[in-house]
Structure formats: structure tokens, C-alpha cells
Amino acid sequence: METSVATRKPNRCEADLLAVLVSEFKSEGVSGARVAKLPKPLVLADFGDAAFADIVRVITRGDFSGKKGESALLHPGPDFAAKRLLLIGMGDAGALDASGLRAAAGKAVRSTQDHKGKRVAILPPPVRRLRAEAVAQALAEGAVLGNYRFDRHQSKSGKALRETQLLFAGANDLRAARKGAATGVILAESQNLARDLSNEAPNLLPPVKLAEAAKRVARETGLQLRVLQPAELEKRGMGAMLAVAQGSANPARLIVLEHNAPRAGKTGGSRSRKSKSGARKTVCLIGKGVCFDSGGLSLKPAGSMVKMKHDMSGGAAVIGALRAIALLKLPQHVVGIVGAVENMPSGTAYRVDDVLKSASGKSIEVTNTDAEGRLVLADCLHYAQTEYQPAAIVDFATLTGACIIALGRWAAAAIGNNERLRTRMVRAGEATGERYWPLPLWDEHLEHMKSRIADIRQTGGRDAGTITAAAFLAHFVAEDQPWLHLDIAGMADTEQGTSTQPTGATGFGVRSVVALIREGGLKGL
């Protein structure tokens, strides 16, 4: 979909639908003769006499007052360039934020689709708390996210729009708005890429195909790509990840995407990424890429196996984030690492009571083959630290059903060993509409994961399941290594669609982690 910014007057904007975003106002006393009670932008905007009269008529009937969630659809007539005029209530002007703008833009897109239109224009209200660049970014994100459909396997599709136009006034606003809109499109399209990967059927996206998808992203953006195959994984001693994969006919892949990789020779013989002052600058994003999770020999019930194609949503988010980081040309050195496997039952599958040797050298007692994601992440965490010595590691994983019990479908869990990193991630989530909630990680949790027959046991029982899963991972992170684990189990997919989110995969985590890096959230760790 093409997204543009213009200064065209509302009555001359050719579109299938013009959406006018209106903050809440008092409608009492408004009539055809008395319009002073209307918000000033609504009065000053050039709708033309006929269309403005229609707006006033709707308001005087009490059908619209700008309350959040309200909308009114008008058909202005032949003198109005747009075929339809949609008033969208934004609520209290003082509380209007980027999330509200995203939702409204998505609503405008959905309404256009419902009326079989292909072009939408959006006129935003004044936003006290945001500059034109931020307003345009939010609107562009909402429009692109709202336009998303995963219908590639359907014989009939075609609801997607061709064009979104954002209307701004003033040359200064126009320049800033175009910059913001371009950023918003990149972020939303990258999130849609993550949605596509997670929504894809598991027979069409085994680990090797996920690696091929990463290769396409690398070609598009200039990212460096490295794909490690089983022989290399075995050479590196990545026994935990390989154990998960050994029950499947589809072999494992370790996918590494790298942005702003230092030139060869700049770091001596080491792959350590350090500045001249010795401060570590690299950030590693790690994603769980279980392309399908049957539970292995600890087989899931049939109902619980549905939607297990989404168990690679963490990996999808990492690939989407690296795409956005590359296209936005962020100055940081960012590495995305995805452990791609399938967890299947067979005569070669790993078993409960097995003892595995991880890449770090630590042994793991297997207690449940359906707790496979943490095994994959354990080897990925070791790879990240030994290859890159990063300033920070952030991992994304649909790791525990316990997270859904704890936080529902309203937030992802944030657990780690660095309070600053966790706090900044939570703030980035608030700014982007991707909510994270902090959970503790105490010494008692770490002690609880010790095994009687190996170094560590794989699971810690029912109590605090989300935290003990993170405690398992913590055993593979150096004490001085800033690390944050994000359990996105409740946020990776949804059955309740919104204006910017259809049912299915969400692409959760892409925009928030890019915001964390883009806004300098790694400084001073």
C-alpha cells in the first residue's frame, strides 16, 4: 500500500473515504446557525458548505460528539471529492496519544475496506503531546497494520487498500510528517512480515524455509546473513538445540542476521564488538524459532496443538525487527539470532530423563519434552555471548503457558538481570502500544532449577512457571551480561481482532524493540 502526506483541502481530497479524527466536544447549542461550540479545526477545515451542513446535522441530532469509539458515516454529495466522510471520535483531546491515532487510522482503513474502497485519506486532529512527525508515524503504522490480511492461500481475496493519504497543513508540518510517515510504514511493514511468518502453515515454513525467508530479508535490506546447519551446530556442541530437532525429519537451522557489522580486521582476531574505550556496543536479539511444536514425546492434547505454528513468533519478531533496523539505518551494531527447529515425536526424538550437553558445557536433565524452547534459547544465548560479547541481549519467546495464566492476553512478561534494561523495555512498550510487565528473578528461583543428576533441570514444576523458565535461561547468561527475557506467549496471536489487528499472528515485539534501540535504551547499561 502506498502511503503519502499532502496538504490538500478536505473537500478536494479524492478518495473512497475521508476519515476526520475529532476530539470530544460539547454538542449542546450547536446548530446550523451556531457552530462556535464545535472544535476549531472542524470549523476551519474546508469541507464545503454542503458537507459541513451534513456534519452539523449529525451533531445536532446527538449522533456524534467526538467521544472515544463513536463514529458517523456521511455521504456528502457530488460537490465533495471523497465518496464518503467518516467522523471518528478520539475522546479527550488532552489524553490523545499515539495508540489512539493508530487505532483510528486502522478503523478508517477497515471502514474503507468494508465499503470495497481502495483509497483512504485521514485528517488528524491537533495533538498537544505529539509533534507532526510522531502523529504521522502513528497514523501510518495504524493504516498499514489495519490493512493487513493473511489471505495468500485463499482463492478470493483483494480487500487490501492501494493508497493511504495523510492530510497535514503547513510546509514545516509537511516535511516532518513525511519523515514520520516513512518511519511508520517501515515499522508496520516489518511487523506485518513477522505476522506473515508466524501465520504461515507449518508444512510450508519448516526451519529451512524460515532461513530462506531471512535470506530474502537480507537481500532486501543489505543485512549480512549466516545460516548454521546441523554439522556446524554439532561442531559447536549445541546439544540442547539439536536434541529438540532430532525427532523431526526437518533439520535445525541457526539463523544469524547482522546489521552494521564491523569490517573485517577492525576487531583484531576476535568477534568482540567494542569501542576504543572498551565499552561494548553490540546488541543481540534472540528469537525462539520452533516452527511447529507437537510437544515431542510429551505430546500435547489435540486442542493444545492447534496454533502451534505460532511457536516461532519470537523468531519472526527478531527477523521483522532486523528488517526495520536496517531500513531505518540505525547506527548501532545489531545481531538477530533465531534458533529454528521442529519439536516432533518419533523413534529418534529426545526423551524425558535424557541428559543433554549444552554449548556452554552445562548438562541439562530433561523433565518434559514440551519445554523445548528454553533448550533452544540456552544454546542461542551461549552463541551470542561467545561470538559477539554484546552490550545487551534481549530474547523473545512464546515460552510458557504459565505466562498466559499470570498476565492473560494483555501483556508479555519481562524478566532479566538488569533493572535499567527492563525498565527501558517497559517504557518502549508503553510508547508503542506493546505492553510488558516486569516479574522478579530471585536467587531462590535460580537455586530451584538445580538438578540432582545434572547441572540444571529443564523445568521447575507448576509454581511460578514463567519465572522458573527464565531462571533456567539465566544459568546460561554470564553474571555481568545485561540480559532481558520477554515471554510473549500471551501476545503472539489473538482470536479477538481490533482495528489494527486481525485474528491470528500479531508480530508483537517488533516496534517496541526497535524503539528501545532507536531511542538509546542501551546507553549506560
The pLDDT tens digits of the residues spanning 307-316 come to 999 999 999 9
* pLDDT tens-place string over residues 102-116: 999 999 999 999 999
pLDDT of 521 reads: 84
The whole-chain average pLDDT of the chain stands at: 93
The answer to whether 225 and 261 are in contact (CB under 8 A) is no
Which pairing describes strands 363-365 and 392-397: parallel, antiparallel, or unpaired?
Answer: unpaired
Interatomic CA distance for residues 342 and 474, integer angstroms:
24
pLDDT score of 192: 98
Q: How far apart are CA 201 and CA 32, in angstroms?
A: 56
Residue 263 C-alpha from the chain's centroid? 30
The predicted structure's pLDDT at residue 281: 85
pLDDT of residue 265: 45
Model pLDDT, residue 276: 38
Catalytic residues: 300, 374
pTM of the full predicted structure? Answer: 0.95
CB 200, CB 309: distance < 8 Å = yes
Gyration radius (Cα) of the chain, Å: 25
Please report which confidence band the pLDDT of residue 32 belongs to, taking 50, 70 and 90 as the band edges. low
| Percent of the chain scoring above 90 in pLDDT | 85
Q: How far is CA 402 from CA 67, 158, 327, 371, 468, in A?
A: 37, 39, 36, 12, 10
Dihedral over Cα of 309, 313, 315, 316: its sign: positive
pLDDT of residue 278: 39
463 SS3 class: coil
Range with lowest mean pLDDT among 12-26, 181-195, 254-268, 375-389? 254-268
The yes-or-no verdict on residue 33 having pLDDT over 60 is no
* Residues in a beta bridge with 505: 493
**Structure confidence at residue 29 (pLDDT):** 62
pLDDT digits (tens, 9 = 90+) for 339-383: 999 999 999 999 999 999 999 999 999 999 999 999 999 999 999
Mean pLDDT, residues 447-469: 97
Distance between CA atoms of 449 and 173, rounded to whole angstroms?
Answer: 55
pLDDT at residue 78 in the model: 87
pLDDT of the residue at 41: 79
Instruction: Return the amino acid letter for 512.
Output: S
Residue 36: per-residue pLDDT: 53
Instruction: Give the mean model confidence (pLDDT) for residues 125-141.
Output: 94
At 8 the pLDDT is 86
C-alpha cell at 142: 495504524
Residue 309 CB-half CA count within 13 A: 19
Residue type, 488: I
pLDDT band at residue 273 using 50, 70 and 90 as cut-offs: very low
> Which helix (H) or strand (E) covers residue 108, if one does?
helix 98-114
C-alpha cell at 478: 554470564
CA distance 192 to 232: 32
178-214 pLDDT, tens digit per residue, is 999 999 999 999 999 999 999 999 999 999 999 999 9
Confidence (pLDDT) at 31: 62
Mean local confidence (pLDDT), 245-270: 81
Domain annotation for the chain: domains and CATH numbers? 2-169 (3.40.220.10), 188-518 (3.40.630.10)
